[in-house]
Amino acid sequence: MKLQKASLVVSALMIVSSLLTACSNNSSGGSNSSIKESAPANTESKTNNTTEGEYTDYSKGFDKRVTLELPVYERAFEGWNVSDNYYTRWIQKEFGDKYNIDVKFVPITRKGEVTDYEQLLASHNAPDIIFHYDMPQALAYYSEEVMQELDLNEIAYYAPTYWNNMQDTMNQYSKVDDKNTFFFAARPAADNSVQLIRKDWVEKVGMKVEDITSMEKYNELLKKWKDAGIGIGAESLKKNNYNFNYNFRQWPVNKEERALYSDLGVADLTTSATEGYLRNLNYQYNNGLIDREFYLRDDENKIKAQFVAGKTGTFGQYLTNNTDVMDATLKNNPSAEFAVLPRSAVTPEGFKAQERAYWPFGLIMGINYDSTDLERIAVWMYLDWLSQPENLFLLQNGVEGQNYTLDDDGIPVINTEFKGDSVLSQNNNKDYWSLITEMVQYDDPETTRKAYIRLWAPAGYEYLAEDMLENYEKNAEYRTPDALFSVVLEKVNEYKTDLNVLFQELYIKCALAPSDQFDATYEAAKKAYLDAGYQEILDEKQKAIDAGQFN
């Protein structure tokens, strides 16, 4: 049955309820309505007039002007116009003018992208590419019938470089309901997600960072911090992206069990892995080892503020060379020292340091159902042009002698003081080259590693990037991706937004319950969650698993 819009919060959690309601209003869950029903598509525009093997050569440009509309994330960088800047004009000059194409960039807000797309699609103003980072939402778009079926031979003809780079991924993941639907950006195997810890705090209580080899050792450290009056560990509200219980899962992975329960969009509340996670969270809360108002820390800035102020000794973020968290902390405590918390520190003894692996692709893309044949072909031509190393390099680094100089390894050394016309956006122009790849990569792995350290490490903190990479490589065998279903999971789309809100309330109840009431609270939470739609999701997934409709 559907989740009822009733008050789900006991009086002791009224403040939490207010917070969670606010969170639910900002949910990025997709609509379940079919856009095509409210606004019929121009079916003539997506008729493929070519037969297999017969494609028109447009290498000299289109006979008539074609408009190509490309999505670009708008991240509210001060002074940055995502639709009109040095790089959009350069793309028009070098690509658009060459092939008789008007290239237009359509802003999509990063936090409100699903809402933006739904509104643009309904009004027939969406760009030619529909993209998202997570497959559940990409499948939701597919279920609304707003994406064209793809001809892979057409992609190979018009975008040979792109196709050669991505054909293995396309052949494995493109199909939904036996229809080629998606194309992808590459994702090199690397990650700059890191848990920082106050090294000076660790040593003040007679321990070393390398001593923190398990969850039990980490809890021991937190207790020493508390007893010494130094501080506590960080914790934050779980919402919308659920990969919190990997360290409590059994190894090796049971693929069918993973497909059934592991899902970024809908939290698992009912397995032993989640029970283990919540039991430890309850222990940490009741013993004063973590931020007692963790459920109010619902974005990175709030978590960061606690760390910078010296109230918490841990902080998770994506490490970048322009992060200010270390400098900000040093202003409050000039003797602060920082280290990378090992992945094993949050892993129970006897378990493996598991974590979610990214799928082997970045952006998941489809062609807008309103795009014409020529507009679709223009997409392929653009992806191929963008795949050329010299074009990708310029978008990633800017102009040599202005934005950067090259070192002896051929790696750009960024001029952080440059403020001229070709200045990069604050995320290194990624929103313009992420259609091709999620990360910068060089032909030589060692050069790539050096580039990552330079890209991720603030000056003087290269050791953090090195330790982060070492941790990543050390636990490589214990990283596994979630399953990808090749059919639309209607129950996931139907219930996920409401279940996200309910999960937050229920897991907080479990965390805040008195120790002797944890078991009863958790059992009641599981029943409420299953009854609110999660059981229907599990039933639907099991049916797809039994039919072999997952990777």
Same domain? For 170 and 319 the reply is no
Instruction: Taking residues 290-318, report their average pLDDT.
Output: 95
The answer to whether residue 5 sits within a structural domain is no
Judge whether residue 473 has pLDDT over 50.
Answer: yes
Place of tokens 């559940």: 136
Query: Which sign, positive or negative, has the C-alpha torsion 113, 486, 441, 447?
Result: positive
The answer to whether residue 132 sits within a structural domain is yes
Determine the Cα–Cα distance for residues 146 and 41; give it in Å rounded to an integer. Answer: 9
Judge whether residue 229 has pLDDT over 50.
Answer: yes
Q: What is the pLDDT of residues 128-184, one digit of tens each?
A: 999 999 888 899 899 999 999 999 999 999 999 999 999 999 999 999 999 999 999
Q: How confident is the model at residue 77 (pLDDT cuts 50, 70, 90)?
A: confident
The answer to whether residue 204 sits within a structural domain is yes
Determine the Cα–Cα distance for residues 430 and 420; give it in Å rounded to an integer. Answer: 19
The answer to whether residue 374 sits within a structural domain is yes
The answer to whether residue 426 sits within a structural domain is no
The answer to whether residue 495 sits within a structural domain is no
Would you say 379 and 154 are in contact if contact means Cβ atoms under 8 Å apart? no
Structural domain count of the chain: 2
DSSP state of 175: E
Range of the domain at 447: 188-235+290-362+443-483
The answer to whether residue 488 sits within a structural domain is no
Same domain? For 147 and 202 the reply is no
Same domain? For 357 and 345 the reply is yes
Same domain? For 348 and 479 the reply is yes
Q: How confident is the model at residue 16 (pLDDT cuts 50, 70, 90)?
A: very low
Same domain? For 222 and 108 the reply is no
Same domain? For 139 and 216 the reply is no
Residue 473 sits in a domain whose CATH number is: 3.40.190
Same domain? For 344 and 382 the reply is no
Write the CB contacts of 459 (distance below 8 Å, at least 6 apart in sequence): 321
Same domain? For 324 and 463 the reply is yes
The answer to whether residue 276 sits within a structural domain is no
Q: How confident is the model at residue 27 (pLDDT cuts 50, 70, 90)?
A: very low
Same domain? For 450 and 388 the reply is no
Same domain? For 318 and 371 the reply is no
Same domain? For 319 and 388 the reply is no
Structure tokens at 75: 């991240």
Beta bridge partner(s), residue 368: 147
Beta bridge partner(s), residue 550: 485
Q: What is the pTM assigned to this prediction?
A: 0.78
Same domain? For 86 and 211 the reply is no
Report pLDDT for 161: 98
Q: Exposed e or buried b for every residue in 19-40, given b needs 16+ CB within 10 A?
A: bbeebbeebbbbbeeebeeeee
Q: How confident is the model at residue 241 (pLDDT cuts 50, 70, 90)?
A: confident
Residue 166 sits in a domain whose CATH number is: 3.40.190.10
Instruction: Taking residues 328-351, report their average pLDDT.
Output: 96
**Upper half-sphere CA count for residue 185 (Cβ side, 13 Å):** 26
Judge whether residue 394 has pLDDT over 70.
Answer: yes
Q: What is the pLDDT of residues 397-452, one digit of tens each?
A: 999 999 999 999 999 988 878 999 999 998 889 999 999 999 998 989 999 999 99
